[in-house]
Amino acid sequence: MKRSLTVMGNWKMNGTRGDNESLLRELVFEGKKFPSVEVAVFPPSVFIESVAQQLVGSPVRVGAQDLCEQLKPGAFTGEVLGAMLKELGCRYALVGHSERRHVYGETDERVAAKFVAAQHSGLTPVLCVGEQLAEREAGQTETVLDRQLLAVIDQGGVASLRGALIAYEPVWAIGTGKTASPEQAQAAHAHIRGLIAARDAKIANSICILYGGSVKADNAAELFAQADVDGGLIGGASLKASEFLAICAAAQALHDE
Ligand code: 13P
């Protein structure tokens, strides 16, 4: 039996109110079949409230794709405070997703500040880390992961990782259909856990490390079966109920084995 797995769907900038309603209808109906899997969806922020309302009474949780690093309200046009997301019903917040880092230029320091801000508001941060293709090819994968993780440990302390989640998402695998092999994923996850273990063995042992990057129904089981892979952060495949549910089913089956 594998410890409980987590499956999260990052909808990115997709969907309409109508799309969300039909997707969620299926998730709510089928979601009870995965009692040992923590399932969450991350809609665009404008839909968080209606999604949370539709999920009342369901075990499926809601998260935000991003938040502002500020700790208090103020003159920050276009930004959303963690406390506002919490008020709408969010449990989780992604921080440092590769599209935030590489399309919108977020630095490690800003990501770390967002991590701290999420916890300040009572949200559970899901810290996304991962190397770009050129970095992998240059043998820098572990250096990049260390830099991204240490930025958070420097700002929040290792204790801030207690209860948080990490998502390892190699940038070259996101939206490309090129999944990391189970061995590549396992190696990166073990490295991440090892870095934390060197500072706090207990947190390292309990922290949930998700894999993300072209996870589909047909490759989820072999990825999730790896010792240090505790579930997945799913992009494209989370927009289709049958695909997302099949990924949740793969996680439940590993737990039941
Ligand atoms: P894809 O599953 O579409 O590759 O996206 C992964 C991702 O970025 C999830 O956050």
β strands within the chain, DSSP E = 5-10, 37-42, 61-64, 92-95, 124-129, 165-168, 208-212, 231-234
Least confidently predicted of 27-31, 79-83, 142-146, 202-206:
27-31
Banded model confidence at residue 4, pLDDT cuts 50, 70, 90: confident
Give yes or no for residue 9 CB within 6 A of ligand 1.
no
Ligand 1 closest atom vs CA 213? 4
Ligand 1 closest atom vs CA 212? 6
CB atoms within 10 A of CB 19: 13
Residue 21: what residue type?
E
What CATH number is given to the structural domain containing 214? 3.20.20.70
Cα 157 to Cα 116: distance, rounded to the nearest angstrom: 10
Residue nearest to atom 2 of ligand 1 (CA): 235
> Dihedral (C-alpha) 234, 239, 245, 251: value to the nearest 10 degrees?
0
Would you call 169 a catalytic residue per the annotation?
Answer: yes
**Surface-to-core class of residue 179, CB atoms within 10 Å of its CB (0-12 exposed, 13-18 middle, 19+ buried):** buried
33, part of any domain? no
34, part of any domain? no
Q: pLDDT of 97-113, one tens digit each?
A: 999 999 999 999 999 99
31, part of any domain? no
Are 75 and 48 in contact by the 8 Å Cβ rule? The answer is: no
- Domain of 20? 5-25+39-256
30, part of any domain? no
Banded model confidence at residue 44, pLDDT cuts 50, 70, 90: very high
123, part of any domain? yes
Ligand 1 closest atom vs CA 176? 4
Residue range 173-196: average pLDDT?
A: 95
Distance 236 CA to ligand 1 centre (A): 6
| pLDDT of res. 2 | 72
Tokens of 188: 């990166």
| pLDDT of res. 74 | 98
Banded model confidence at residue 139, pLDDT cuts 50, 70, 90: very high
| pLDDT of res. 177 | 86
Q: Does the pTM of the predicted model rise above 0.85? A: yes
Distance 169 CA to ligand 1 centre (A): 8
Give yes or no for residue 10 CB within 6 A of ligand 1.
yes
Cα 194 to Cα 35: distance, rounded to the nearest angstrom: 29
3-state secondary structure of 127: strand
Banded model confidence at residue 22, pLDDT cuts 50, 70, 90: very high
Q: Residue 38's beta-bridge partner residues?
A: 6
Query: Best mutation site among 11, 94, 172, 234 for ligand 1, i.e. most ligand atoms within 8 A of its Cβ?
Result: 234
Q: Look over the chain and give the mean of its residue pLDDT values, rounded to a whole number.
A: 97
Count up the domains in the chain and report the number: 1
Tokens of 135: 């970095």
Banded model confidence at residue 8, pLDDT cuts 50, 70, 90: very high
